[in-house]
Structure 1
Amino acid sequence: MTRSLSGKKEPLSRSEVQILPIAKAAVEQSWERCLSAYHLDPAQGWIPDILSGAELRHVSGRSAIFLKSAMGEMHRLFELVQGMGLMVILADPNSTILARCVDETHLSVCRRLHLRKGAIWSEASAGTNGVGTCIADKQPVFLGQGDHWRFCFSLLASYAVPVFDAQGHVAGALNLAAMTGNTTRPYANLLMETLKLSSRRIEETLFRNCHMGEQILTLGMPEESSSLLVAINQAGEVTGATHGARTFMGWTEDRLCTRPNLLTELEAGVEISFKKAEESVVRSALAATQGNVSAAAKSLNISRATLYRKMRALEIQ
């Protein structure tokens, strides 16, 4: 692996490029993959694979539900960040760009960097980048000036979060990008939180549409890009859970197939977080029934006396 210095190619030392502290761990892990697994030369230019029109239509058709659920949120997000010179990009689980919202003044940059529909921005090909790296890690990532593996992206700023579908799988990635180096860095935390909120809104739309007519409850406040939502049937059995809820509860796909009873699962937990989750479930059920304890108990498949006991224990008036 080499880099060009004064026209001469010399071995690259990863320590030669400074990593911004906010993204150090994620960037280092991605750089290690670029070095050891993908064998990518950071000084080499890059041209992505671009899907043909027919291929893009096929891929877009495969992600039609995801696209339909995300487009409104993409436009809302673009209205919020447009004045900061940021574009909004939506990609599928294979890092293929499906849609973008971009100001006309940035179209030339998009052409130069191949930020266009049908371009495949996988980490294995493009190196460390917002879309490809957040999908590879299934975690939010921020890349500032110099954090991308390839030098040709040195001024590209990128904020990206994974978006999960109703089954807890990665549906794609939502990305904010700009060729402005570190000019947005002072607002990095705010932009990332805004992006996570958009991701959770898309996920919630996908989840509610998948479990229409069922009771949707929350296990608490989300911390990353996935909400802690569960769907239960009239028997109080869990029929679905978001990625965040599955992680929080430790549920595998096999475990969810057995239709566990939500409150029984929560009562079995010994962590304080489970008590908070149980409180969220009880409050959600009461809110859904406008405070009708009998109806809330029925929706949770427990007796009214049991619900009153839980409310007293959780100090819910």
Structure 2
Amino acid sequence: MQTRTTKETPGKALAPATGSAGADSRRALIEESHQRCAALGLSRIERPDYEPLMRSDLAIARERNRRLSDRAAPVMEMLLEQIVNTHSMIVLTDAQGTVLHTVGDDDFLERAGKVALAPGANWAEHSKGTNAIGTALFAETPTLVHASEHFMHANSFLTCSAAPIFDPRGNMLGVLDVTGDHRSYHQHTMGLVRMSARMIENHWLTDDYTDRLRLHFHSRSEFIGTLLEGIVVVGPDGRVLGANRSALDQIGQSMAAVRNHSLTSLFGTSTAAVHDHLRSPLALPMLLHLPDGRPVHVSPRASGPVSVMLRGLGPAAPGAGPGADDAALAAPAARRDALPAPGDAVAPGLAAAAAIAAGGLREPAEGAPARRASGLEFLQTGDPQVEAVVGKLRRVLNRDIPILILGETGTGKELLARAIHQDSERAKQAFVAVNCASIPETLIEAELFGYEEGAFTGAKRKGSHGRIVQANGGTLFLDEIGDMPGPLQARLLRVLQERSVTPLGSHKTIPVDIAVIGATHRPLREMIERGQFREDLYYRLNGLAVRLPALRERNDLPALARRILRGECPQHTPEISPAVMTMFTRYRWPGNVRQLANVLRTAAVMAAGEPQITEAHLPDDFLDDLQRPAAALAPLSAAAAPAPAAGRADDTAAAGGAVVAGNARTLQEAEIAMIQQVLDACDGNISEASKRLGISRNTIYRKLRWNPDRPDPARA
């Protein structure tokens, strides 16, 4: 393939060749991004934050997006062959802009590493300003950012072409990007990136719906089987379950609109016609019509037996009319939609647990008992405190009682929330998780409540549904609720009281039916007394408060470790040697279950098929921590009170999580004191302290800044 290389006059950005309409649209996109960056307080001349994630946090991000990486890797290698020796690299990020994987020319990889184009770095707009990855994430559209179009001057030597990747239900999975030297801009790069992103999306769709009827179509029959074909998936109830991006372009409707269609309303065909066509040998594509009357050639395909693909659509009765499948629309909806959307946060290392629990939502095999696996049941591994929590949650399921989950970071609060959702009557609807601590304060209101077109600078052209509306009919999980800004607490309280949402810039209210689960590691009672959290919101969220015990307080660590290992190595699960298990039981686990899962994942890889995990397989930093004084390992001071009994686990939680030590210090005060102690021992080195504590640098910054009596760690 020949490409034309265009040189640029130094100091002047090169305007990539495109049509005038396309150029105007791209110019507006870049300008709006610059305005957002300025509103966020970013400076064009400041040095961007090049600090990558900690190794453990990167491992968590990669675990959450393992399927995306697996599907993208071969496509990235194929794309690399097209751009080899062009001083470029290929970047894959998750839906938050965190770089997961890179490939490219060695010389450019080394240069790109200096601006943190490496795994673990975050390229969202709020971190790196205007850039193709971050702007594509925000605008949800393929984006080219060239030379000085980057908001930060430090990145102006780059030219970047990025395309977002979506799953068949329209959820953002991540971004595929090609970045190179700005002096070697290639006109065809964006086209290659877009096609590559579509390949990943099509693979994802095929994997998601191997047991569903797929309709491949295009206005020109010769394009069926190419990347330009549209693909629509039809479920057992006759409804459209998903579609690829080419299908949306050809139909001219959004994903939400397409998923409101049935086989009849979208293509005007009948069950009988599809059934007969699939059984016909060497059949040509069917000539059907879209809702607006345009003709398309449609090729139905089924990976399995036709009877299984069409189960629920009704019998293929001779002479059935065009509305033959309408009678089946009352059939139960496909249960696969109840699975967590790709990219949703799952407790690291316990992704296998979530997968096994979600497996109960799949349709049973022929003749198998139709029993849905219990998510709460899966979390029970013998600890009395967890058993007590699960018992109380079962008693309030489906009673419209809000649940507040309290516990230290890493104890598995989100996994518990997902288990509650799965065991409830809302399991077939959406589970929407919002981390109130990770969304910038300037964006969290739009993220939660949605906004109308033109509500603010940079708003999407057609507005956006907020996360609360997305959870309608299902469950809204508000993680780190204690970090929500004060003004938003008032708006959230109104939503919970009135069960309706008013998007930004709109006067129209949208009724919502949601179950609310909140979670926090903060002592909300004390925050109420300090005026940092609304008391009325606390009581609205606290229908039932339960406390997840820290890992050091649980007596089921051996059983829990073995369950995590089975999830990591389902085929040949290694045993844990008695010596290693002894180490585990005497360790304080400041990072709780999340840290245990990371240690076991590394150990399982190091064991490489050996029958037993020994000390030689454990991570070096974990072994170093074992040699440190106990005070440096414990997340509480030595004077902290013992763990509460199982029967009173949630009594402490109901009090706002205040655990009073012998010196009358609260959990928060003891935690901050311990962090400061370790930070002092590391001479103010935040990275080293985060490794010793098993928590991220951002957590250390947040915890110390929250306490007005402590110095700002940024000055340490």
- TM-score, length basis structure 1: 0.74
Whole-Å separation in 2 of the counterparts to 1:251 and 1:170:
12
Q: Which moved more, 1:154-163 or 1:17-26?
A: 17-26
Structure 1 residue 279 displacement after superposition: 1.9
Q: Indicate yes or no: 2:160 matched with 1:199.
A: no
Aligned to 1:313: none
Tell me the CA shift for residue 232 of structure 1: 1.2
Q: Which residue of 2 aligns with 1:312?
A: none
Match of 1:169 among 171, 177, 181: 171
Q: Structure 1: which 5+ runs fail to align?
A: 1-15, 290-294, 309-317
Specify whether residues 279 and 147 from structure 1 end up closer, same or farther in structure 2 by C-alpha distance, changes over 3 A only.
same
2:296 to 274, 279, 304: 279
Structure 2: distance between partners of 1:178 and 1:59: 25
The verdict on how the C-alpha distance between 1:130 and 1:307 changes in structure 2, with shifts beyond 3 A counting, is farther
- Paired residue secondary structure (1:108): helix
Kept in 2, the 8 Å contact 1:227–1:243? The answer is no
Deviations 1:45-97 (A, max 9, x none): 11234111111111111111111111000111011101222100000000000
Partner residue of 2:206? Answer: 208
3-state SS, counterpart of residue 213 of structure 1? coil
Q: Distance in 1 between matches of 2:150 and 2:256?
A: 34
- Offset, 1:102: 1.9
The answer to which structure, 1 or 2, has the higher relative contact order (CA under 8 A, 6+ apart) is 1
Deviation for aligned residue 1:194: 1.1
Contact 1:199 1:226 in 2 (8 A): no
- Opposite residue 265 of structure 1, the aligned amino acid is L
- How far apart are 1:246 and its partner, in Å? 5.6
Q: Does 1:51 align with 2:63?
A: no
1:136-193 deviation line (CA, Å, top 9, x unaligned): 11011111121100111111110000011232111000000012x2421xx32x2111
- Correspondence for 1:138: 140
For 2:27 and 2:12, locate their aligned partners in 1 and report how far apart those are by CA, in whole Å: 12
How far did residue 108 of structure 1 move? 2.4
| 3-state SS, counterpart of residue 146 of structure 1 | helix
TM-score of the superposition, structure 2-length normalised? 0.34
Amino acid at match of 2:263: L
What is the alpha-carbon distance in structure 2 between the residues aligned to residue 125 and residue 246 of structure 1? 32
Deviations 1:203-258 (A, max 9, x none): 01111100012222245479xx99742111466432323456467334528x84x7
1:261 aligned to 2:262?
yes
Please state whether the residue corresponding to 1:47 is helix, strand or coil: coil
- Contact 1:211/1:231 (<8 A) preserved: yes
| Deviation of 1:106 (Å) | 1.9
Contact 1:91 1:98 in 2 (8 A): yes
Aligned with 1:29 (options 26, 29, 32)? 32
Aligned residue pair count: 270
Distance 1:19 1:251 in 2: 35
- 1:1-317 counterparts in 2 under 5 A? 20=15, 22=23, 23-35=26-38, 37-179=39-181, 181-184=182-185, 187-188=186-187, 190-218=188-216, 220=218, 228-233=230-235, 236-242=238-244, 245=247, 248-252=252-256, 256=259, 260-267=261-268, 274-276=292-294, 279-280=296-297, 283-285=298-300, 288=301
Q: CA deviation at 1:110?
A: 2.0
How far residue 132 of structure 1 moved from its aligned partner, in angstroms, is 0.8
Aligned sequence identity (%)? 22
Q: Is the 8 A contact 2:87 2:107 kept in 1?
A: no
SS of 2:293's partner is helix
- Alpha-carbon separation, structure 1, partners of 2:103 and 2:243: 30
Cα 1:251–1:174, aligned 2, differ >3 Å: closer, same or farther?
closer
Look up the SS of the partner of 2:190 in the other structure: helix
Q: Which residue of 2 aligns with 1:7?
A: none
Conserved? CA contact 1:158–1:175, under 8 Å: yes
Q: Structure 1 306/141 Cα, relative in aligned 2: closer, same or farther at 3 Å?
A: farther
- The structure-2 alpha-carbon separation of the partners of 1:137 and 1:304, relative to structure 1 and needing over 3 Å to count, comes to farther
